[in-house]
Structures are given as C-alpha cells and as structure tokens.
Chain A
Amino acid sequence: MKEFKIAQPKSLDQVTSLLSQKNTDYALMAGGTDLLDEIKNKIIAPEVVIDLKSVPDLSTIKMDKTHVSIDAMTCVADLAENPIIRENFPVLVEAALSLASPQLRNVGTVGGNLCQRPRCWYYRDPDTICRKKGGSRCFALRGRNRYHAIFGGGMCYIVHPSDLAPALISLDAEITINGLEGKKNILRLEDFFTLPQNNVRKENVLEARQVLSEIRIPLPKNGSKSTYYKFKERGTWDFAVVSAAISGVISGGVFRDIKIVCGGLAPIPWRLKKAEDFIKGKNLTEEVIKQGAKEALTDARPLEENTYKMGLVEAVLYTAISSMI
C-alpha cells in the first residue's frame, strides 16, 4: 500500500479543524474496510489518514423518550446485536446482518457504511478515469452495466452500495453532521444522498470539512413493522443486486403508512413513492403489491444489460411485503 501518515485526533473539533487545513490531502478513516480498498486500488492516495477511532466516545447507542441515537463509529456487529435496536427496528438488524461478513461487520462502522464509495467496476478500476473520478465519460452507459442503475442515472450509473442506508431512511432517520468549531447540522438521511446530476464526484452532501457524527431514529409508532429483503447472487457475502427496506404501520391487513426504500437500483437509496401510494390503504394481495411495483417502475430507465432488475423489483417487493403479513 502506498505510504501515508496517520493523524490521531482526540475530538471531533480536531477532526474538522484538520480537514479544513488547506494543502494537505486528508482522508477520514472509520473502520477502514472501504477506505483501505480504495487506497490499495490506487483510487485515492491521501497524504494523511485521519483515524476516527482515536476520538473517544463515538460508538454508543442510546435511547431517550422519542429517539434512538447511534454514534457514527458504532460497528455494524454491535448495531445488529444491540437490544434496543433488535427490539425496535427489525429492518435495521436484518440489513446489518445482510451486509459483508462477520469479520467486516466487527470492524466496519455505521457512519462508514453510509459514506462508503461506490462499487462500480469502472470506478474501482485503477486505470479507468471515469466521470466520478474526474474523467469525461461514464463507461457503464455503453459498457458492461449488468449491476448498474435503472433509476436516477444520466451522468453516472453507479448504484449506492449501502445496506444500512435504505433501512435507516425507511425509518425516517436523521443524521448529525459536525462542521468547524462545533457547528452541527441535522438533516434527514434521505436528504443526505445526492444524485450525480448535482455532483457527479460525490454521493452525498457532506463537505470536505465535515464529519458524520450521529444517526437518530424516531421510536416506532404502535403497530409498526419493518423488514429488509436483499437479493444477492451468492449465498455468502455480497452487495445487493436489488434490496428493499420496508417500514410502516399495518392494521387490519392494510398498510396505513408505508415507506419503501431500495438498494441496488440507483446512485442513491431509491424510494419507490409510486409503489407506496398505490399499496397504502389496500388489501395486500399479490396483484396489489406487484401492481405497486409496476407503477414505480414506469420511471425506470434500464440499460442494455440490466432490464432484469425490473422483474426483480416486483419479486423483491412481493417477497418482502408478504413476509410482513
């Protein structure tokens, strides 16, 4: 691996102060399970890696009267095993256990999972300078695009790789972003992610001087149910081909409220609003669920090799929702 130095700050203020210094190329490291891959593959070459693990007290999960808060440095394994999370948010536990492998979940963090970079093979190839890396083309558009986006593409067709993001968005999570001198910004996680048309180099609105510090989820309402279904190509670890996080309130066999957020479909976690609108208030028959998916798919623009994802969306929604009733 290419050489770098490591900075070991003791507070988030020190982290953001470091990040705001000009003329040094910094990279933030949480668990490092994605960052080290980027460095080894020569996608990035930071001069200084900032070790977030040296900042104390950044990995607790707490509950107050209205919310559960998760510190950004909580590792995925701890998230999945936490009794508060297990009791309140099945979708989050299922998403956590679906991702990577036991070894990676022991090290990879929740914050790192939300901020991880895309897995597109053109982006991860050291010798390809695609648009996301500052080049002038997205090679997926006319190239090999089996795993690429069917929604929200255009400038670039990556799919967002995170499994936790769809789950957390379906639960209406908010995040706290720390900026310089203790300045904090709270926004909905749904608004954190941004499409390539807004900034093709990034997947979220985090600025260079900022760090994600906390995730907050409102406690579930009575009658809430949630689930995560992830379709992958192998039995063992893999990124989602298509996944769906579904959270809502069910009574009398009907969703009074429903949120459907998918992985594997778009450069950001993708909400199927048309499916939500169609399914809400109706008896949950196979036709209703599949028609809901079809409504949402009217906006899809598949590429040459990924039309199969259309059918998968229907199947994934049907499998996920029918497991909830």
Chain B
Amino acid sequence: MNKGKMKKGKTNTFTRRDFLKGFGSGTLGVAITPKLLAQKAESIQTKAGEVPVYAKKQIKFTVNSKAYTKVVEPQETLLDVLRDKLSLTGAKKTCDRGECGGCTVLLDGNPIYSCMYLAIRADGTNIKTIEGMAKEGKLHPLQQAYIDKDAYQCGFCTPGFIMASEALLKKKSNPDLGEIKKGLSGNLCRCGNYTKIYQAVDQAAKAGRS
C-alpha cells in the first residue's frame, strides 16, 4: 500500500497542504525515483499463451495537459495516485466507495469516480482534475459561477461538483434544471447547497453561450 509520503524536496512555496502533510507524517519523505522500483512483469504460462501479471507497473498518462510517467501498484486507485504521488489534492477522498462524487475527475472527457478506478487502468488516458480548470491565473467560468452564486459552504464537495458540471456542460451546453440535476446526481453535498449549485451551473452555461 502506498504511504503517500514520498515527495521530492523541491517546493519553495509553502502551502496549507504542505503544512498538513508535514504535520501528519512528522518527517520529510525520501525522494525515490520510479526507476529504482523494480517493475518487471511476471507472467503466467497458460494454454492460450503467456499472460503478463504485474505487482507494479509503469504507466504513462496525461493529467491537466501534463505528461506523467509513474510506477503504480495494482491496488492503488487513480485517486490515491493523483493525491499522493502527483500532489493533486483537489479531488477529495470522502467516502472512497463510489457513493459521493467528491473524487470526480474526467477520464478522456467522461466523469468518473477516481476512488473506484485503478490507476493502472489509467495507462494511456487523459485526465482532467479541478487543478486543470483555471487557465493563466484566470478562473474557469464554472469556478467563477460557483463563487458568484455562493454555491458552497464547507467546499469539500466543490471540486467534484465542478468536474461533474464541466462534463455536463461539454455534453449539453444549454441544460434545463432537470438535466442539471441528472448530470449532477452522482455528487452529494452534505451542506445541502444544491439550489445554489444548480444556479451556478446555469450561470456558467449562460456565460458559455454569450
């Protein structure tokens, strides 16, 4: 199981997340490059040919337009890899059972729960997370709309909601309220902010069309 403590000692800006991490683990992680980790496939000889079996595998994928090569273990979810190996902590680990949507990211444009998707299967895919929404210091219209409409209280569900909203608007640029509700039906907000969330999506949709 990955411990989520490996981080190259490079940052010069100290974020709230770094503080929490340091606080939690107590020590600084040791930098380990993927190459040090053996990842040769074993294989099982079957009557129908040799089948590769991995205890670790090097995968290549794109996250927010940036290419990554990472060694992952089969039981690591995409969420764990994003959060613990790429330090992209926008997607939240909330229920870890595919029930709440806090971990929603886009995989080749489609919203998925990254907590219920093995990272090893993301090999060759294109992932988008909340960190990839703002461009050149400017918020994405959806992010702006969530702020304008006060569409969050604690904000824990917001990254997941915004990614689900992004997927919805890519498919349907002009959704009615029913369609917005359906599009966001895989996301839960414990603070119960649904009305404002729907208004935010509506605002972003209108902004996108104007």
Hey, which bits of chain A sit against chain B, CB under 8 A? 1-11, 13-14, 16-18, 21, 29, 32-33, 36-37, 39-40, 48-49, 51, 53, 77, 100-104, 106-107, 180-181, 236-237
User: Which one of A32, A37, A101 lies within 8 Å of B97 (CB-CB)?
Assistant: A37
User: Which one of A2, A21, A77 lies within 8 Å of B110 (CB-CB)?
Assistant: A77
A77 to B112, CA, bound (A): 11
Task: Report whether A33 and B74 are in contact in the complex, using a CB–CB cutoff of 8 Å.
Answer: no
CB distance from B21 to the nearest CB of A (A): 21
A48 to B97, CA, bound (A): 21
Task: Report whether B97 and A5 are in contact in the complex, using a CB–CB cutoff of 8 Å.
Answer: no
User: Which one of A2, A180, A181, A237 lies within 8 Å of B75 (CB-CB)?
Assistant: A2
Chain B, 112-164, CB within 8 A of any chain A CB: 112-113, 116-118, 120-121, 164
Closest chain A residue, CB of each to CB of B43: A7
- Chain A residues with Cβ below 8 Å from B89 are none
A40 to B57, CA, bound (A): 21
Task: Report whether A6 and B120 are in contact in the complex, using a CB–CB cutoff of 8 Å.
Answer: yes
Closest 5 pairs between A and B when the two form their complex, measured CB to CB: A101-B186, A17-B46, A13-B48, A6-B74, A103-B186
- Chain A residues with Cβ below 8 Å from B183 are 102
User: Which one of B47, B53, B116 lies within 8 Å of A48 (CB-CB)?
Assistant: B53
B-side binding surface: helix, strand, loop or mixed? Answer: mixed
Task: Report whether B77 and A103 are in contact in the complex, using a CB–CB cutoff of 8 Å.
Answer: no
Task: Report whether A5 and B53 are in contact in the complex, using a CB–CB cutoff of 8 Å.
Answer: yes
- Chain B residues with Cβ below 8 Å from A39 are 75
CB distance from A46 to the nearest CB of B (A): 10
Task: Report whether A1 and B185 are in contact in the complex, using a CB–CB cutoff of 8 Å.
Answer: no
Task: Report whether B112 and A106 are in contact in the complex, using a CB–CB cutoff of 8 Å.
Answer: yes
A-side binding surface: helix, strand, loop or mixed? Answer: mixed
Task: Report whether A107 and B116 are in contact in the complex, using a CB–CB cutoff of 8 Å.
Answer: yes
- Chain B residues with Cβ below 8 Å from A2 are 75
Instruction: Please give 17 more A-B residue pairs, beta carbons under 8 A apart, in addition to A14-B46, A33-B116.
Output: A3-B73, A5-B55, A6-B74, A7-B44, A13-B47, A14-B49, A18-B46, A21-B46, A36-B98, A37-B98, A49-B74, A102-B182, A103-B101, A103-B113, A106-B107, A181-B47, A237-B185
CB distance from B99 to the nearest CB of A (A): 8
CB distance from A86 to the nearest CB of B (A): 16
CB distance from A4 to the nearest CB of B (A): 6
User: Which one of A8, A14, A17, A237 lies within 8 Å of B54 (CB-CB)?
Assistant: A8
User: Which one of A4, A8, A14 lies within 8 Å of B48 (CB-CB)?
Assistant: A14
Task: Report whether A5 and B185 are in contact in the complex, using a CB–CB cutoff of 8 Å.
Answer: no
- Chain B residues with Cβ below 8 Å from A6 are 53-54, 57, 74, 118, 120
Task: Report whether A101 and B117 are in contact in the complex, using a CB–CB cutoff of 8 Å.
Answer: no
User: Which one of A77, A106, A180, A236 lies within 8 Å of B185 (CB-CB)?
Assistant: A236
Among B55, B75, B76, B110, residue most surrounded by chain A Cβ atoms (within 10 Å)? B75
CB distance from A238 to the nearest CB of B (A): 10
Task: Report whether B96 and A40 are in contact in the complex, using a CB–CB cutoff of 8 Å.
Answer: yes
Task: Report whether A7 and B97 are in contact in the complex, using a CB–CB cutoff of 8 Å.
Answer: no
Name 26 interchain pairs, CB-CB below 8 A, sorted by A. Answer: A1-B75, A1-B76, A5-B42, A6-B53, A6-B74, A6-B118, A7-B53, A7-B54, A9-B51, A13-B48, A14-B49, A14-B51, A21-B44, A32-B121, A37-B97, A51-B121, A101-B101, A101-B186, A102-B186, A104-B98, A106-B110, A107-B116, A107-B117, A180-B47, A236-B185, A237-B186
